[in-house]
Amino acid sequence: MNTDPFAALAAADPARDVSLSDADVRRIVRAATAQSRRRRWILATVTIAVVCAIGIPGAAVASGYLARTGWFGSPQPGSPEGTRPIGTEADGSEWIDASAPDYGDYAVTLWPAYAALPVGYDTAAFARPIAADSVEGFRQVTGIRSEFEQNARCAWRAEWLDADARGDAERAATAAQTLTAAATWPATVASDGGGIVDEERALAAAATAGDRAGVTAADAWCGEMLEGRGR
């Protein structure tokens, strides 16, 4: 006989096998957001928790950030987290309210330490406009970090192009090495719906080979992404 009370509760939960589409989740959230922001947070959290059986850790409340929801992703059974996205939930990371007034402040704290920028960049100053440009709505932490990772790779791509143009072999080598490691940064891998990692590996290979045309052709939109985000 199972004497574990938490296991018994989980087994008795009628919603344990429920899996909602992105549209369903948004419909539930919209219904819960008719009241004030404070009541919206309470109602939305309770609604999602009841329907999706998502945990609400005290850390989300204690953090003091309105952007934190306490709702965590629940990937469908049989699909290992971090290997491929399932619907809108790439993994079990927390859903963040990008429309919250303090989203920018909170998002900056999510910048992954491993995604170091080239010398001369201020990470917080670099991250803030990226957060400001985010589409309002609910985003998972992994998705936010994936966006940060992509912007960091763009900075290293620009670093390689500048070093190559100046004939600075040491800087170019550092940039190429970083781009190689950056191609498989975890948030990118977890949210890759197909082809992103391969494209970044191709970029890194071109940089390593000193192929300026190959680097220039890869992620050509990076220049636009980096506007206003220089050193």
User: 149 to each of 6, 45, 178, 206, 219, how far by Cα in Å?
Assistant: 37, 29, 12, 19, 13
Which residues lie below 8 Å from residue 85, measured CB to CB, with a gap of 6+?
190, 191, 192, 193
Using one digit for the tens of pLDDT, what is the confidence trace for 71-107?
A: 887 665 544 554 444 444 557 788 899 999 999 999 9
Using one digit for the tens of pLDDT, what is the confidence trace for 38-50?
A: 232 222 333 333 3
More confident residue, 60 or 122: 122
Give residue 4's pLDDT: 54
Give residue 141's pLDDT: 92
Does the pTM surpass 0.85? The reply is: no
Give residue 205's pLDDT: 97
CA dihedral 141, 111, 166, 227 (to 10 degrees): 70
Rounded mean pLDDT of 48-66?
A: 49
Using one digit for the tens of pLDDT, what is the confidence trace for 99-115?
A: 999 999 999 999 999 99
Ramachandran region, residue 94 (left: φ > 0; alpha: ψ -120 to 50; beta: rest)? beta
Using one digit for the tens of pLDDT, what is the confidence trace for 125-180?
A: 999 999 988 777 888 899 899 999 999 999 999 999 999 999 999 999 999 999 99
The identity of residue 56, as a single letter, is I
Give residue 192's pLDDT: 78
Choose the most confident range, by mean pLDDT, from 49-53, 124-128, 216-220.
Answer: 124-128
Task: Please check the confidence at residue 220 and state whether its pLDDT lies above 60.
Answer: yes
User: 130 to each of 13, 98, 115, 124, how far by Cα in Å?
Assistant: 40, 12, 14, 10
SS3 5: helix
Mean pLDDT, the chain, whole residue set? 74
Give residue 60's pLDDT: 52
Angle at 121 between CA 117 and CA 122, to 5 degrees: 105
Which residues lie below 8 Å from residue 39, measured CB to CB, with a gap of 6+?
none
Give residue 127's pLDDT: 94
Give residue 226's pLDDT: 83
Give residue 87's pLDDT: 44
Do residues 175 and 190 lie in contact, with contact meaning Cβ atoms separated by under 8 Å? no
Rounded mean pLDDT of 22-41?
A: 37
Task: Please check the confidence at residue 188 and state whether its pLDDT lies above 70.
Answer: yes
Task: Kindly report the number of other CB atoms within 10 A of residue 36's CB atom.
Answer: 9
Phi/psi for 97 (5° steps) reads -85, 100
Name 103's bridge partners: none
